[in-house]
Amino acid sequence: MTTEPGPDREPRPAAGGVPYLAYLKSLGLVAVVTVLGRTVLSRVHPINLVMFYLLVVVISSLSWGRGPAVLAAAAGVLAFDFFLIPPFLSLAVHDVEFVITFAALLAVALAIGTLTARLREQAVVARRREAETAALLAFSRRMLGARQWEEIVAAAVQHLGESFGREVVVLLPEKGHLTIAASTGRFKLDDREMAAAVWTFAQGRPAGRGEATLPGVRGLYLPLQTARSIIGVLAVRGSDAPPLTAEERHLLEAFTAQVAVAMERAQLYEEARQVQVLAEADRLRQAILGAISHDLRTPLASIIGSLSTLTGEGTRLDDRTRGDLIETAREEAQRLNQLVGNLLDISRLESGTLKLASDWYDLRDAVATALERKAPQLQAHPVRTALPDDLPLLQMDYVLIVQVLVNLLENAAKYSPPGGEIEVRARDTGQAVEVAVLDRGQGVPAGEWDRVFEKFYHVGGKRAVGGTGLGLAICRGIVELHRGSIWLRPREGGGTVVTFRLPLGRAAEAGESGGGQQRRG
């Protein structure tokens, strides 16, 4: 909370200006000087006391303003004459020269009084300006700190509400209508008020109380205007407060301009950020296209090479070579097919267009399908499974989970030595089912355990083993679509364990109660 005084923190003047007390005080000072004068009258010539009355006038004007100063001047002259100039207790004078003194005293007193009063007024104004500037600075700092427009308007209404002691509301356009974006609470807009707000927004000029347009309306509506456009309306209403003074109005407009600027800044910041995001995405896309281009062209080169050799040299080749070439073309085509599939998968996952075709499925069925599909690659690797019989049914997209298992098995086979055993384990943790694929391969260095799940990532940065590095990224995408998680850890005794976790739905109950079928343990 800032502590700078607002424009109306000073005591409000009574009707007529300065409080009555001030007049009394200046009279008091005159009295004091008169009394002092009486006491030293025997030793000091009365003419010397003139300065003291001037002093009283200066003090009065500096402390209380012009009115009390004028009173002090007049009262001073009268008191001087009455009490300190013979004949005492009479306004008549023996020495006519004193009349000049009186006139001079009065004139100088009034002049000094007026000048010092002006000085004082200027000082008051200067202090007020200073307070306003401090308030503006504090407000502006607060606006600067806010990044989102919601913060800005909320801070604005709160700050302005406190500073001006009134209800404040900010209206912003939403879907073609002005709606309240922030308010200090009790400001409700009826049709008339809303009409004023709408007018202000459309015309970009103030309306409402104290204005030329719609003066009968209770609130004052100011446009939030930037160099580019009108972005909203700020409204102020004091239920029983008098209308704003010119200075207050000026200050309010300054604040309003701050709010508008802050909002424009927030908007521009957001636009800049978007541009940056797009630029980054573009850069990434270029890099990916480069990698993909290479990965697609390599098998194609083999295919075209093999087939063109067959067509060109066909008759000159022996059967075995011909067979090899055809087989090469077929294998490379399969590889290309898989690559294309991976690219489509990752693309769909990234763009969020992949929708789960979820239903109750048996995980062991999925494992069996994955093992079947990878049978050729797994020929060199004995596979062990540890899948409990009472594993509950899971809500999952069968095809996608098979894909996950296929990718994990592929990795296990790729990175395992020939004859290296591969294991698939599953367990029910109560909340979820955890499936792990284990191998005795070369393992993944520490520090890369999470990075392997990134797109196009190859362990150790090498592309030696072939493949695009998308397999694990696809696994993660699919598992996360199922609200699960996947992680990689080294295996005790060497190798790698990749585990993924699929949360259980209501599968457990459904499996047991389904149609009265028994599940044998």
Partner 1 sequence: MAGSSDGAESERRQVLVVDDERPIRRFLRAALTAAGHDVLEAGSVAEALAICPTARPDALILDLGLPDGDGLEVIRRLREWSAIPIIILSVRGQETDKIAALDAGADDYLTKPFGAGELLARLRAALRRVKVEPSASVLTFGPTVIDLAGHRVTVNSQEIHLTTTEFALLRVLAQHQDRVLTHRQLLRLVWGPNYETETHLLQVNISNLRRKVEPEPLHPRLIVTEPGVGYRLRSAGV
Window 364-383: contact mask with partner 1 (x via CB under 8 A): xx-xxx-xx-----------
Separation of alpha carbons 64 and 25, rounded Å: 9
Binding segment toward partner 1, per CB under 8 A, in 39-47, 176-184, 226-234, 509-517:
509-517
Q: Which stretch binds partner 1 (CB under 8 A): 29-37, 263-271, 301-309, 354-362?
A: 354-362
Stretch that binds partner 1, among 24-32, 212-220, 386-394, 494-502 (CB under 8 A): 386-394
Least Cβ distance, residue 427 to partner 1 (angstroms): 16
Pairing of strands 422-428, 358-361: unpaired
Residue with tokens 């943790």: 429
CA distance 80 to 167: 54
Q: 10 Å Cβ neighbour count for 325?
A: 21
Query: Is residue 515 part of the contact set for partner 1 (CB under 8 A)?
Result: yes
350 binds partner 1 (CB under 8 A): no
Helix runs in 65-210, H state only: 66-79, 97-145, 149-164, 191-203
**DSSP per residue, 67-108:** HHHHHHHHHHHHHIIIIISSSTTSS--SSTHHHHHHHHHHHH
- Alpha-carbon dihedral sign for residues 249, 255, 260, 261: positive
Is residue 307 a contact residue for partner 1 (CB under 8 A)?
no
At its nearest, how many Å lie between partner 1 and the CB of residue 512? 9
Select the span of 161-169, 238-246, 352-360, 431-439 touching partner 1 (CB under 8 A): 352-360
Question: For residues 393-452, which are near partner 1 according to CB under 8 A?
Answer: 393, 397-399, 402
* 47-55, 127-135, 157-165, 337-345 -> range binding partner 1 (CB under 8 A): 337-345
- Binding-site residue total for partner 1 (CB under 8 A)? 32
Q: Does 304 bind partner 1 (CB under 8 A)?
A: no
In 3D space, the residue among 166, 266, 260, 175 whose CA is nearest the CA of residue 222 turns out to be 260
Q: Map tokens 């000029």 to a residue.
A: 205
337 makes contact with partner 1 (CB under 8 A): yes
326 lines the binding site for partner 1 (CB under 8 A): no
Using DSSP, state whether 500 is helix, strand or coil.
strand
Nearer to partner 1, 259 or 346 (CB): 346
Contacts of 391 (CB under 8 A, 6+ apart): 362, 363, 364, 426, 428, 433
State the nearest-atom distance from the C-beta of 283 to partner 1, in Å: 29
Q: Residue 388, interface with partner 1 (CB under 8 A)?
A: no
Interface with partner 1 (CB under 8 A), residue from 344, 417, 460, 483? 344
Cα separations in angstroms, 176 against 131, 172, 179, 254: 39, 10, 9, 27
**Residues lying near partner 1 in the complex (CB under 8 A):** 333, 337, 341, 344, 357, 359-362, 364-365, 367-369, 371-372, 385, 387, 389, 393, 397-399, 402, 507, 510-511, 514-515, 517, 519-520
